Structure 1
């Protein structure tokens, strides 16, 4: 689903509104108003608000598996180094796209919603398959422990990040994060390194 510049602009506006007001609380009329276009253009480009959300999810997930597989394929690097880079990639992507995660989570937990996010779930499965093969290769190389709950590794990354994300006021005081720049640096360094150490402790043998 390649998007042109106008579609990307509409998706960006809709993502902001969905995150702020929810899917049900955001009308097509409001999206059109905020994007400075007429309603017919949304119908022309996407067909419906549901299809707009689907395109949004696909657009935000694009390229991630390519980046993930590129890291895994670097056989000249140690498993430890590649694991750390995988963690850094996940943190960077979920931080950049935290609004879409919020939107998808809200919709997936809405039992009254008919949206299935088939592509989203399919892509998550492919990402997990790549991580699983990497971990299993590390187990055969006697770097990673046996009996690892591999499907729970990614939620461990996401859970730690989103705990910080939704409790920023607490961490602002704890770490003196007084500016947007200090928060960005904290996520890139302290938070990412903490998650890297946590996953290494979970799955790798002690030196």
Structure 2
């Protein structure tokens, strides 16, 4: 399943599934709903993906495998450890902001309903990304730049948690920060929110002067 071959019909089904899952929730969406909206026979959807869980797994891999590639290639860039961490934050926020629907499903609905054991591919992806983050932080520690008492598995939830709290309270922050258009809101995430998260992670990692 991790190397799913995608044709136009499969991609069409995945795009529709993402839209419906993010609007109606995973449990609130049926294979019938997806096939109807995608205008593809229900038997064909079942033939391609088997079950709704397998469809979700394919959707996760389709939407997040490029994140994995970006993080892995970052490891080999000729940058200082702190610059790598800053770039990692940028990559995460950019990917999540571009795929809010699927990430909302992953980080809220699924984890809260303990469905993650069915999503081995997603668990593997997270482990791989954590390993990459660990490599960057260990490099910084070996150079004496990063603290040795950092709890590495808590770095990713610090990045994601800040983003999701901000996004889940979108109307509040739009009013508070005068972000009354979608462009202003997205620019704020790309610049100010990303910078705030970078500063937060730096404070966790770097020794105080």
Contact residue 110 and residue 116 of structure 2 kept, 8 A: no
Trace 1:2-151 onto structure 2 (pairs within 5 A): 2-75=5-78, 77-104=79-106, 105-111=108-114, 113=115, 116-151=118-153
Gaps of 5+ in 2: none
Contact residue 108 and residue 116 of structure 1 kept, 8 A: no
Alpha-carbon displacement from aligned partner over 1:56-79 (angstroms, at most 9, x marks no partner)? 11111112222112112113x222
Note the C-alpha offset of 1:44: 2.0
Contact residue 140 and residue 146 of structure 2 kept, 8 A: yes
Number of residue pairs matched? 205
Query: Cα gap change, 1:42/1:150 in structure 2, threshold over 3 Å: closer, same or farther?
Result: same
Alpha-carbon displacement from aligned partner over 1:34-62 (angstroms, at most 9, x marks no partner)? 11122122012112222111111111111
Q: Distance in 2 between matches of 1:2 and 1:192?
A: 34
**Residue 89 of structure 1: SS of its match in structure 2?**
helix
Please report the RMSD computed on the Cα atoms of aligned residues, expressed in angstroms: 1.5
Note the C-alpha offset of 1:114: 8.3
What TM-score, normalized by structure 1, do the two folds share? 0.93
Q: Distance in 2 between matches of 1:87 and 1:148?
A: 17
Note the C-alpha offset of 1:150: 0.5
Q: Distance in 2 between matches of 1:107 and 1:82?
A: 30
Partner of 1:164: 166
**Residue 63 of structure 1: SS of its match in structure 2?**
helix
Partner of 1:201: 203
**Residue 101 of structure 1: SS of its match in structure 2?**
helix
Q: Distance in 1 between matches of 2:155 and 2:28?
A: 34
